[in-house]
């Protein structure tokens, strides 16, 4: 028999299969099972589904059930939000003095229509908007109301606005610990709305004053309709004052860093990559680590589905296969995997796939010869007692590229960086770009684990002893 498993979260596997049918012989049900699996994978809160097809079913012969006839009725998530709660939220929006939209991957998962509605709502209301790592691109980075990413390595202005707001409108995000920091101090003076298709996410971590279960696209449509029908009212004077405050936080310029004439700073490498590629039809993937956070901070995403990264329990090794897949889906686009050397090595065999399928994907490796994110934590949490967070035996990435039949480029001098990036872009085929960067750069801003949003570290200034044991266990 075939079983369907849906993994909504790595720690929360859920079986979506009626137990009665598990006892039946299922060769005849195989096509039905596969249609159901795709339904579960794409509907509601999407996620991977594992179909377990035993050998006897693999060898048997059966008849095919067409997709429209497949039984999918047991999993029909609620898409329309409760209109009374939506109206109550609009009332709160009309009165809010310090509102903020806090958006997440749910906006992207809901489809491009949801991103359009979000943009319209932000333009209508004039409220500031921030997003989690997974939601980048739903609202354009060049948009007037964009505060940048929030969270552990989010922007100062985004995190302080979350801390100080009086109305937080969570659209398709899940209040995870990289966002909330210390829960008791999370945005203490705000009323919170939470729009999510997964009922189990609501009130799981943070109490929602306006809980709205539904698909982001449907709920935003209703929200906009109610907002307009009530006359598009907002507390303009107070919201203007709120923006003045946000501008003061922005003036801190939290992404500033000290550049170098001799060593490539990872932030500089990403600034140059952004400048030289932002006008391309571009897709960015990442691995997991410091490079991933810097990519989120220094690259701008104008549209949804342009940013493929592994969030939640981020998985090193995600970026190489993801980038090959994205390139095969978009053969003419520029697809770049911003990688750390350690993550990159985890699935480097997929360069063979890139070569075999002529996928001209660019592997942009910020090589610090370190498990940089681990090293950063060892510095901050363990008094610079480094353990197993560096490598003295890395391969020569240029030779590795040649061994795979792709192009290899190595650059270590900041003055050569632009030319090297242009060489990568102009090469019609897969490239492994080995960018040797500063080995001990830390990623800031940073909210240490277990601290509140207004206790961010902005730079190297004083980082020792700032994270207590309580925060340490949360890393
Ligand atoms: C499969 C897997 N193993 C371990 C981790 C924990 N982890 C997170 S970031 C990181 C270091 C990544 O190093 P690198 O890819 O070189 O990126 P950098 O931080 O140096 O930019 C590790 C070990 C993980 N996220 N995934
Ligand atoms: Mg590294």
Task: Give 434: exposed, middle or buried? Use CB within 10 Å, 0-12, 13-18, 19+.
Answer: buried
Q: To test ligand 1's pocket by mutation, which of 178, 292, 297, 316 has the most ligand atoms within 8 angstroms of CB?
A: 316
* Residue with CA nearest ligand 1 atom 9: 289
Among 302, 369, 361, which residue's Cα sits nearest to residue 326? 361
Question: How far from 355 is each of 179, 362, 383, 403, 435, CA to CA, in Å?
Answer: 39, 12, 44, 11, 21
User: In which band, very low, low, confident or very high, does the pLDDT at 20 lie, cut at 50, 70 and 90?
Assistant: very low
Verify cis geometry, omega within 30 degrees of 0, for the bond prior to 445.
yes
For 146-163, the pLDDT digits (tens) are: 999 999 999 999 999 999
Query: What is the CA(331)–ligand 1 centre distance, in A?
Result: 29
Decide: 371 in ligand 1 pocket, CB within 6 A: yes
User: In which band, very low, low, confident or very high, does the pLDDT at 18 lie, cut at 50, 70 and 90?
Assistant: very low
Query: What is the CA(371)–ligand 2 centre distance, in A?
Result: 5
Residues 233, 211: Cα–Cα separation, whole Å: 22
Among 318, 425, 434, which residue's Cα sits nearest to residue 367? 434
Alpha helices in 287-428 (DSSP H): 290-298, 319-329, 341-346, 351-356, 372-381, 397-404, 417-426
Q: To test ligand 1's pocket by mutation, which of 264, 288, 441 has the most ligand atoms within 8 angstroms of CB?
A: 288
Q: Edge-to-edge strands of the sheet including 49-52?
A: 13-15, 3-7, 49-52
* 284 within 8 A of 294, measured Cβ to Cβ: no
The pLDDT of residue 25 is above 60: no
Decide: 368 in ligand 1 pocket, CB within 6 A: yes
Residues 267, 264: Cα–Cα separation, whole Å: 8
Decide: 341 in ligand 1 pocket, CB within 6 A: yes
Query: What is the CA(179)–ligand 2 centre distance, in A?
Result: 24
* Residue with CA nearest ligand 1 atom 14: 340
Query: What is the CA(382)–ligand 1 centre distance, in A?
Result: 17
* Residue with CA nearest ligand 1 atom 3: 316
Which residue has 């923006």 as its token pair? 243
What stretch of H or E contains 228?
helix 216-229
CA 22 to chain centre: 36
Q: Residue 373 CA: which ligand 1 atom is closest?
A: 19
- Give pLDDT, residue 72: 75
Q: Name the residue with higher pLDDT: 475 or 84.
A: 84
What stretch of H or E contains 275?
helix 266-277
- Give pLDDT, residue 468: 53
* 468 within 8 A of 474, measured Cβ to Cβ: no
* Residue with CA nearest ligand 1 atom 20: 372
* Residue with CA nearest ligand 1 atom 2: 316
Please give the full DSSP string across 47-102, using - where no structure is assigned. Answer: --EEEE--HHHHHS--PPPPGGGS--TT-----SPPHHHHHHHHHHHHH-SSEEEE
Q: Residue 343 CA: which ligand 1 atom is closest?
A: 15
For 186-224, the pLDDT digits (tens) are: 999 999 999 999 999 999 999 999 999 999 999 999 999
The pLDDT of residue 80 is above 70: yes
Question: How far from 42 is each of 46, 217, 298, CA to CA, in Å?
Answer: 5, 15, 31
User: Directed axis angle between helix 290-298 and helix 372-381, to 10°?
Assistant: 100
Cβ neighbours for 163, distance < 8 A, ≥ 6 positions apart: 186, 187, 188, 452, 453, 454
User: Directed axis angle between helix 417-426 and helix 266-277, to 10°?
Assistant: 50
The pLDDT of residue 13 is above 50: no
- Give pLDDT, residue 317: 98
* 338 within 8 A of 270, measured Cβ to Cβ: yes
Ligand nearest to the CA of 290: 1
The pLDDT of residue 10 is above 90: no
Return the SS3 of 363.
Answer: strand
The pLDDT of residue 475 is above 60: no
Return the SS3 of 287.
Answer: coil
Q: How many CA atoms lie within 13 A of 388 on its CB side?
A: 0
The pLDDT of residue 292 is above 70: yes
Decide: 367 in ligand 1 pocket, CB within 6 A: no
């Amino acid at each position: 028999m075939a079983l369907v498993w849906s993994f909504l979260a790595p720690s929360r596997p859920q079986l979506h299969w009626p137990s009665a049918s598990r006892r039946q012989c299922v060769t005849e049900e195989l096509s039905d099972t596969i249609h159901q699996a795709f339904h579960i994978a794409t509907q509601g809160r999407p996620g991977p589904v594992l179909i377990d097809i035993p050998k006897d079913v693999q060898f048997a012969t059966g008849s095919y059930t067409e997709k429209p006839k497949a039984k999918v009725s047991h999993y029909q998530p609620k898409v329309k939000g409760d209109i009374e709660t939506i109206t109550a939220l609009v009332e709160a929006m009309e009165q809010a003095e310090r509102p903020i939209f806090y958006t997440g991957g749910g906006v992207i998962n809901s489809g491009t229509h949801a991103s359009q509605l979000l943009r319209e709502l932000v333009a209508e209301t004039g409220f500031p908007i921030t997003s989690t790592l997974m939601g980048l691109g739903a609202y354009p980075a060049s948009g007037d109301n964009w505060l940048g990413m929030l969270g552990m390595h989010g922007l100062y202005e985004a995190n302080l606005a979350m801390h100080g707001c009086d109305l937080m409108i969570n659209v398709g995000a899940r209040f995870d610990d990289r966002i909330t920091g210390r829960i008791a101090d999370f945005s203490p003076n705000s009323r919170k709305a939470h729009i999510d298709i997964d009922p189990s996410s609501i009130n799981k971590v943070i109490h929602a004053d306006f809980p709205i279960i539904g698909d982001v696209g449907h709920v935003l449509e209703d929200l906009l309709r109610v907002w307009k029908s009530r006359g598009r009212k907002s507390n303009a004077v107070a919201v203007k004052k709120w923006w003045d405050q946000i501008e003061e936080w922005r003036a801190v310029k939290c992404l500033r860093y000290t550049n170098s004439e001799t060593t490539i700073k990872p932030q500089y490498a990403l600034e140059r990559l952004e400048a030289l590629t932002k006008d391309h039809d571009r897709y960015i993937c990442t691995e997991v680590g410091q490079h991933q956070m810097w990519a989120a901070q220094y690259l701008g995403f104008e549209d949804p589905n342009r940013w493929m990264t592994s969030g939640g329990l981020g998985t090193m090794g995600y970026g190489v296969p993801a980038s090959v897949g994205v390139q095969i889906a978009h053969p003419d686009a520029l697809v770049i995997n911003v990688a750390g050397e350690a993550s990159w090595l985890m699935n480097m065999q997929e360069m063979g796939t890139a070569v075999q399928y002529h996928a001209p994907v660019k592997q942009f490796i910020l090589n610090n010869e370190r498990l940089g994110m681990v090293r950063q934590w060892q510095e901050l949490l363990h008094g610079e007692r480094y353990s197993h967070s560096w490598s003295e035996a890395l391969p020569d990435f240029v030779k590795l590229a040649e061994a795979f039949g792709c192009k290899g480029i190595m650059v270590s001098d900041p003055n050569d960086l632009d030319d090297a990036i242009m060489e990568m872009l102009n090469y019609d085929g897969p490239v492994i770009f080995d960018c040797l960067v500063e080995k001990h750069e830390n990623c800031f801003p940073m909210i240490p684990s277990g601290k509140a949003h207004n206790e961010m570290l902005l730079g190297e200034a004083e980082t020792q002893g700032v994270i207590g044991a309580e925060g340490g266990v949360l890393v």
